Structure 1
Amino acid sequence: MNGPHRIRIFGGGEFTCGEDEPVLLAMERCGAGDIGVGCRGGGCGICRVRVLEGNYTTGKMSTAKVSESDREAGFALACRLFPTGDLVIAVE
């Protein structure tokens, strides 16, 4: 299914996001403000989140902000996070 997918922030808001749209931009489009917004380019780390449930892909992210072991633990930058299904995420 290519969306829109439901994105739920643990202890926060909820919005929808298509598979071709970064979670951070979908949050902004929907008027939510649960995730910090920085460079929007995968480098600053302000939008770092942890995916608790669901499937996703990611684009290029700074390894200084999200290491390989972080990625394996479900961490990602929301500006480079693309859902392939409904997600539950936690803001770190």
Structure 2
Amino acid sequence: MSTDSSANHSDTPSAKITLTQNDDGWWTARDERRGLTTQGETRDDALDNLDDVIDAVENDRGDQPTDEELREAGIDPDDNTTGELPDILK
């Protein structure tokens, strides 16, 4: 979990992770150094989700969305021809 300081890599700077409980009861976890943010119904869920995102970003895991996945997210793939991500995916 993100709160385990022994899990930090010796070649990476110290992490600063903030946890905020939102008005709706959900939790937001933000890694300030990497600029990554996730949410979860509990603190642990938010931190676990953040760990997953950090792993995906740092280890180049994940795939480009398919045209079908873009359409399901309300994005027209034909409008995304410049190669830049639409605001919703940034």
TM class by shorter-chain length? under 0.3
Higher relative contact order (CA 8 A, sep 6+): 1
Please tell me whether Structure 1 or Structure 2 has the larger radius of gyration of its CA atoms: 2
TM-score by length of 2: 0.26
More strand by share: 1
More helix by share: 2
TM-score by length of 1: 0.26
